[in-house]
Amino acid sequence: MGSSVNHSYSLLYNKRERVAFGGLWSSPASGALSLVLLLLTVLLFGLLTLPSAAYAVSSDGTSDTAASVTATAVTGDEGAKLKVPPTSFEAYEAQRASKKGRKKKGPPAPVLEAKDYPEVEGISPRVTVWLAAQMHLWFAAFVLAVPIFVLILEAIGMLTGDRRYDRTAYEFIRVSITAYSITAITGGLLLLSLIVFYPAVMGYMSSVFSSSMLGYGLLFFVESITLYIYYYGWGVMNDGGGLKRLHLLIGLLLNISGTALMFIANAWVTFMMSPAGVDKFGALKGGVFAAINNHLWHPMNLHRFVANIAYGGSIVGAYAAYKYLSSRTEASRAHYDWMGYTASFIAIGALLPIPFAGYWLTAEIYSYSQQMGITLMGGVFGWLFIVQAVLIGALFLAANYYLWCGMGRTEGGARYTRYIKYIAVVLVLSFLVWFTPHNLVLTATETSALGGQYHPWLKSLGLMPAKNTAVNIMVIFTYISFLLYRRAGKASTAPWAKQATAVEVGLFGAAIANILFLGVYYGYYTDNVYKVVSSVPQVLTTLVVIVGSLIIEWAIFRRSNTVGGFKWGRMPDRSQYALVLIAVSFTWLMGLMGFVRSAIRQNWHVYSIMKDASAEAYTPSIAYAARVVSVGTIIFMALIIFIFWLSSLGKRDEIEG
Amino acid sequence: MHRLLKFFLIVLGAYVLLKLPGLFFGIPVPSSLVLLYLFFVAVVTLLVMTSTEASARSLFAPIVAIVEDPALVRRRNAIFAVLPVLAALVAYQVVLPDNEANIGFRAVHPAPPALMEAYGKSFDLTTLENPLRPVESTDPVRFARLVKEGGDIYYSNCLFCHGAKLDGRGHYAHALDPRPLTFQGVDTIAQLQESYVFWRIVKGGPGLPKQSGPWASSMPVWEAELSEEEVWKVILFIYDYTGNRPREWSR
């Protein structure tokens, strides 16, 4: 394999480009360094000038982007959530009509009418913006996530000297580079469709976020430049020394700018859900940061950051599966098997904390607005949460199945396959709890027999303590599957291995008992307040048992023998479809939950500030929403397959020979 | 035992298990849930049985044999004749008209508005608290009296639908669809703030929001029948009687 690896690097590295690059600057190193310094200067300059671009409104209400926004314009109550949003259209109109007492520091949100929404014959504005936004989000999530773990893989490769990491990292970034262009295209489509169909909304949003929008543009520039240097400079900077470190630094800059881009876009989206920094008329009271730092910004940042990594891993996993299934040589199968494993490891690793990040976001939505919270999970969108639960369960099952099949890579796996059925039983039981709804779909006969809308026994499973308990146990047992897979090819030489394993089993037992106790006792037998709070020690228990057992496993297998001849590429084809299922489930899940998150604003563009007066202000039925998202998922997956095909079109795969 | 047979027995066993509560206790597991549960039991069983090459081969061996083995031609023909008939029978059963009302998918858990106009003033439901709740800690004797008064109001007005035991099984309950809510257990009023309960009592079914409508609710509007204080007293009573605490964000 070594020779093929070396050969691959000659393909990455075009000599003529190197000469041109070297001609422009005295050496590639100094050239790259100069570029980085230039970018840092631009970034610094941009950050320093950002406040001067803040939107200001003069006392007569006319807008002005003058640099005269000073600290005096910043009021003490920035960031506080709006406590008194109007409840009815009449109250809203009355509030808006009364101009008394309004601090005129920013333009107020306009009161819109049907005529404010341009019409284009035969085109639905909502569906157009919906699909453009969703496509952009899917691609953006992918291209933001891939550089994160590419950087990590590259660093591991450099530290360990294992060139497989470096080659896989390069292949990952190669897959994402085409997706990057499509991300920009779909972003452009989204922007254009918003300007065409919702000009007043965009006008208001840009009046609040003008400076951050300019910052966004600048960061996009930084991200693009760093990405291209990172990708095209891979070969030329791969000297294993100073240039490689510089390359890693560029990768870091790429990730910082990409993540900052996402955070800025998150601020706009969360402002529409939980507006802050504006008065009750929607006028910006002071600095833009108060609007950015709204109630849901941090929970959304965390949730999307972690979920993007899982998503990026899943798409690369699907790519590896695609390549594995179409491989013609043993070497190629081995490589893409390893790549699929690494990608799924990233995806599943990032998947484990997502339910907790999601729970935090949801709890914050509830705490911001009981109305939004109940609409989200107790109202009509509750049914989509059942679909969500099923899809998340499918993700866990697919992940476990992939690990179970992975035990077949070594003959030593046979020692552990007998445990699979027990893990499966626990997963099934947890899964059934996980998706049992509180509001059941009942026939009239069943309603009559049950004496009401809730099942006397199963109703408790519909509450969050049961869900939290189930998901923690699912996470733990998925982790046990991973441990068994890791053990499959090894035999410890430590004389105390059995005792240490017993301690590990005890640790798992205690953790599960604790999670059950916290869920059952605090969820159902104490004050309601503890019901939400008890989820935190549950998560901590899960984390403790994972970290604890990792340490024990490390100690047990620090000195171990290989058992059964581990071999990459010895995976059944059906296991690869689990990787594809993970990618499709993630995509569909993001679409459905993205719709729900956005739709809980109901008929508000900006919740409690700016009402939607368009013909499509109504909430669509969940069946309709599911259809739109499903069509979007099919289009996205078709584009992704196209990208997979494109990525191997330019040059013949070095592994295939 | 052969793996394929084991697979069918596991799914069948799960089906029987799910039907038992309905048969023996009159408390059926809803058919929608049975379908979902069985689907995942079947899927996970298949996943386990195909997790190794040997196991997967063993599972599908009888099917492969039926399709490919020339010696099994009679059995193959019989199966291929019976399977479509079975499918037709199932399809016939599914589409057969019956007297069952259509299933209503509409959730019965409306989101409250932020503001509510009642008793000639405006209530901010995001900050509204029961004005009588502090009495619980400051004057327990008076609190007990308030709860009792709330109970009297309940048994004069709410009993007929929500029941003597607050379990949603009042005199009229069986005629209503959806059924009146039970207040027992930790999954209804225990999940709600008192401001929410206040809104539902005062505004009733007609006061439900336009969003997510049309709603199905028989809850009367009590604004004209009960004073503001009486509503708060009833709320004290229903939490006290069921041993629940209202939901709070502040603690």
Tell the burial category of A242 from Cβ atoms under 10 Å away from its Cβ (0-12, 13-18, 19+): exposed
Contact call for B109 and A439, based on CB within 8 A = yes
pLDDT number for residue A118? 93
pLDDT number for residue B212? 65
Distance in angstroms (rounded) separating the CA atoms of residues A420 and A502: 19
Query: Which residue of chain A has the CA closest to B112?
Result: A371
Distance in angstroms (rounded) separating the CA atoms of residues A439 and A227: 48
pLDDT number for residue A414? 87
Task: Read off the pLDDT of residues A483-511 as tens digits, 9 standing for 90 and up.
Answer: 999 898 888 888 899 999 999 999 999 99
Q: For A244-268, give one letter per residue: b (16+ CB within 10 A) or e.
A: bebbbbbbebbbebbbbbbbbbbbb
How many angstroms away from the CA of B245 is the closest CA of chain A?
6
Task: Read off the pLDDT of residues A546-577 as tens digits, 9 standing for 90 and up.
Answer: 999 999 999 999 888 887 778 888 899 999 99
Q: Residue A250: inside a domain, yes or no?
A: yes
CB proximity under 8 Å: A 288-317 to B: none
Q: Residue A561: inside a domain, yes or no?
A: no
Instruction: Find the CB nearest B30 among A378, A441, A452.
Output: A441
Number of A–B residue contacts, CB under 8 Å? 192
pLDDT number for residue A51? 35
Q: Residue A31: inside a domain, yes or no?
A: no
Q: Which uninterrupted H or E stretch holds A611? A: strand A610-611
Confidence of residue A33 (pLDDT cuts 50, 70, 90): very low
Mutate to test the interface with B, among A82, A83, A87, A448 (most CBs of B within 10 A): A87
Instruction: Find the CB nearest A378 among B107, B177, B186.
Output: B107
Contact call for A407 and B52, based on CB within 8 A = yes
Confidence of residue A72 (pLDDT cuts 50, 70, 90): very low
Distance in angstroms (rounded) separating the CA atoms of residues B205 and B160: 17
3-state secondary structure of B117: strand
> In sequence order, what are the beta bridge partners of A611?
A604
Distance in angstroms (rounded) separating the CA atoms of residues A110 and A201: 8
What rounded mean pLDDT belongs to chain A? Answer: 81
pLDDT number for residue B93? 92
Question: Is 70 exceeded by the pLDDT of residue A324?
Answer: yes
Contact call for A528 and B30, based on CB within 8 A = no
ipTM score here? 0.83
Q: Residue A630: inside a domain, yes or no?
A: yes
**Quick one: DSSP state of residue B181?**
P
> Quick one: three-class SS letters along A323-356?
HHHCCCCHHHHHHHHHHHHHHHHHHHHHHCCHHH
If one counts every other C-beta atom within 10 angstroms of the C-beta of residue A198, the result is 22
pLDDT number for residue B249? 61
- pTM for the whole thing? 0.80
Which residue did the predictor score with more confidence, B146 or B244?
B146
Contact call for B186 and A88, based on CB within 8 A = no
Question: Is A104 in contact with A62 (CB distance < 8 Å)?
Answer: no
B168 contacts on A by Cβ (under 8 Å)? 451-452
Domains identified in chain A, total number: 1
Distance in angstroms (rounded) separating the CA atoms of residues A468 and A540: 12
Radius of gyration of chain A (CA): 27
Contact call for B110 and A374, based on CB within 8 A = yes
pLDDT number for residue A123? 92
Helical spans, DSSP H, in A489-621: 497-517, 523-524, 528-533, 535-556, 573-599
Q: Residue A593: inside a domain, yes or no?
A: no
Distance in angstroms (rounded) separating the CA atoms of residues A547 and A344: 20
A414 contacts on B by Cβ (under 8 Å)? 52
CB proximity under 8 Å: A 45-84 to B: 83-84
pLDDT number for residue B159? 95
> Roughly what angle, to the nearest 10 degrees, separates helices A125-160 and A622-647?
40
Contact call for A603 and B211, based on CB within 8 A = yes
Task: Read off the pLDDT of residues A462-474 as tens digits, 9 standing for 90 and up.
Answer: 888 999 999 999 9
Distance in angstroms (rounded) separating the CA atoms of residues A540 and A530: 16
| Torsion-angle region of A608 (φ positive above 0: left; ψ -120 to 50: alpha; else: beta) | left
3-state secondary structure of A326: coil
B163 contacts on A by Cβ (under 8 Å)? none
pLDDT number for residue A247? 94
Q: Residue A516: inside a domain, yes or no?
A: no
Q: Residue A349: inside a domain, yes or no?
A: yes
Question: Is 90 exceeded by the pLDDT of residue A43?
Answer: no
A84 contacts on B by Cβ (under 8 Å)? 114-115, 124, 126
- A216 phi and psi angles, rounded to 5 deg: -60, -45
How many angstroms away from the CA of B187 is the closest CA of chain A?
7
Task: Read off the pLDDT of residues B189-227 as tens digits, 9 standing for 90 and up.
Answer: 888 889 999 999 999 999 888 766 677 788 999 999 999
pLDDT number for residue A67? 28
Distance in angstroms (rounded) separating the CA atoms of residues B179 and A447: 8
End-to-end CA distance of chain A: 11
Compute the average pLDDT of residues B97-109. 73
Residues of chain B with CATH 1.10.760: 115-242
How far from the centroid of its chain's Cα atoms is residue A619's Cα? 25
Distance in angstroms (rounded) separating the CA atoms of residues A457 and B26: 12
Question: Is A183 in contact with A265 (CB distance < 8 Å)?
Answer: no
Q: Which uninterrupted H or E stretch holds B142? A: helix B140-157
If one counts every other C-beta atom within 10 angstroms of the C-beta of residue A646, the result is 13
- A82 phi and psi angles, rounded to 5 deg: -75, 125
Contact call for B32 and A370, based on CB within 8 A = no
Which residue type sits at A615?
A: A
Q: What is the largest CA-CA distance in chain A?
A: 84
B109 contacts on A by Cβ (under 8 Å)? 374, 378-379, 382, 439
Full residue range of the structural domain in which residue A260 is found: 116-371+621-649
How many angstroms away from the CA of A488 is the closest CA of chain B?
13
Question: Is 50 exceeded by the pLDDT of residue A77?
Answer: no
Structure-token pair, residue B121: 């003033």
Q: Residue A123: inside a domain, yes or no?
A: yes
Task: Read off the pLDDT of residues A164-214 as tens digits, 9 standing for 90 and up.
Answer: 888 889 988 888 888 888 999 999 999 999 999 999 999 999 999 988 999
In Å, how far are A110, A287, B225 from B200, measured between CA atoms? Answer: 32, 40, 14
Architecture of the domain whose range is B115-242: Orthogonal Bundle (1.10)
How many angstroms away from the CA of B94 is the closest CA of chain A?
14
Q: What is the largest CA-CA distance in chain B?
A: 89
Query: Which residue of chain A has the CA closest to B105?
Result: A441
Which residue did the predictor score with more confidence, B186 or A54?
B186
B178 contacts on A by Cβ (under 8 Å)? 447, 452-453
Contact call for A88 and B113, based on CB within 8 A = yes
- A108 phi and psi angles, rounded to 5 deg: -70, 165
Contact call for B40 and A432, based on CB within 8 A = yes
Task: Tell whether A320 is within 8 A of chain B (Cβ).
Answer: no
pLDDT number for residue A75? 31
Structure-token pair, residue B74: 């009679």
Q: Which uninterrupted H or E stretch holds A562? A: strand A560-562
Handedness of CA B221, B226, B232, B237 (dihedral sign): negative
Which residue did the predictor score with more confidence, A121 or A99?
A121
Degrees to nearest 5, angle at CA B82 with B79 and B86: 130
Distance in angstroms (rounded) separating the CA atoms of residues A152 and A313: 13
Compute the average pLDDT of residues A118-126. 91
**Quick one: DSSP state of residue A413?**
G
